[in-house]
Copies of this chain bind each other. A is one copy, B any other.
Amino acid sequence: MPTIKDVARRAGVSLGTASRVLSGGGNTSPKARSQVQAAAAELNYIANGPARSLRSTRTNVLGLLVSDIRNPFFSEIAHAAEREAMRLGYTVLLANANEDETQADEYLRIFASQRIDGLLLAPQGPASPQLESMLKSGLPVVLLNRLVEGLDAPSFATDNSQGVGLVLDWLQTRGHRDVAFVGGPNSISTGAERMAAYRAGRESHGINTDDAFIDAGDFLADGAERAMMRILERGKRPTAVFGANGPTTLGALRALRWVLGASEASRVEVVSFDDLEWFEFVSPAISAVRHDAAAIGTAGVTGLLELIAGQPVASQRISTTFIDRSV
């Protein structure tokens, strides 16, 4: 594990300066601060200050790092986790990665030096050295919704292939053949699993297997809008669009309206992985896979408290339901 000496060397500052920056004490220049913080980030340095000596002390505070707090799915997970934690005498501090690996690592570093008893984590992509260090340091961690290959932490996640199966069945029943699929990043388990399940099931559900109907964004609205634009720019005119999460569906809808106009766009049926509160008000109403954010948040807290108590915890896959809003 990197030491404060490594950080000082990397930052090109004295040991005293690095120490002052990392402990937050004394006067340091903004330049030294940013150099030392950058070096600490690059080396995945975990503060070894006064807070670490408190690790043996329970605080009844849990950390929760979500992928995107503006995504209602994650704000719902956060809300449910917090209620369950409160019920059990714990409180939850929340941090937002904004679908960004670097920002996620920054918060992992903060949580490592704060006084938390355990961490609920919706990870960004594969395991970072920062995350590996935290697990090695003995902090109890559970994963929410997204998995990380090879990481030794129990997970509480949506059954993505079951959920995509419900969408495929619905698309077939509605007679759609030219379906556009707007996915998420392949580096995130939910992005990869939903895309794989969709590709695997297309043909048997009578859906066009032309890959020009498929594109992927970053699970945020703007990236999904661009992905949908690319599909339309390839000259594809789908009769249905499947968005791989809530913000993705929003972005796809914007692109459809922008390119086709409101009237033409309203002839395209839209279906979403993630049910949002406003889908019933759109014309035509948007059907959706509802995954149970509340169940994931609640099960995650229960699992984490079992881990903290030293008990073995098994991973869970949580089933989805389908909300059919077609007439």
Contact = CB atoms under 8 A, between A and B. Distances in A.
Interface of A: 23-25, 30, 33-34, 37, 49-51, 54, 56-61, 69-70, 72, 75-76, 78-79, 82-83, 86, 89, 91-96, 98, 103, 106-107, 110, 113-115, 117, 221, 250, 253, 257, 276-278, 281-283
A89 B24 contact: no
Contacts of A91: 95, 106-107, 110
Given A24-B57, A51-B54, A277-B250, A86 B115 contact: no
Nearest to A24: B58
Contact of A60 (B24, B58, B103): B24
Contact of A58 (B25, B70, B78, B276): B25
A250 B70 CA distance: 17
Among A95, A281, A282, find the residue whose CB has the most chain B CB atoms closer than 10 A. Answer: A281
Nearest to A250: B277
Given A37-B89, A277-B221, A69 B75 contact: yes
List the number of copies, as a whole number: 2
A93 B79 contact: no
A253 to B, nearest CB: 7
A222 B82 CA distance: 19
A265 B23 CA distance: 59
B93 A92 contact: no
Nearest to A69: B75
A54 B47 CA distance: 14
B70 A75 contact: yes
A7 to B, nearest CB: 15
A88 to B, nearest CB: 9
A284 to B, nearest CB: 10
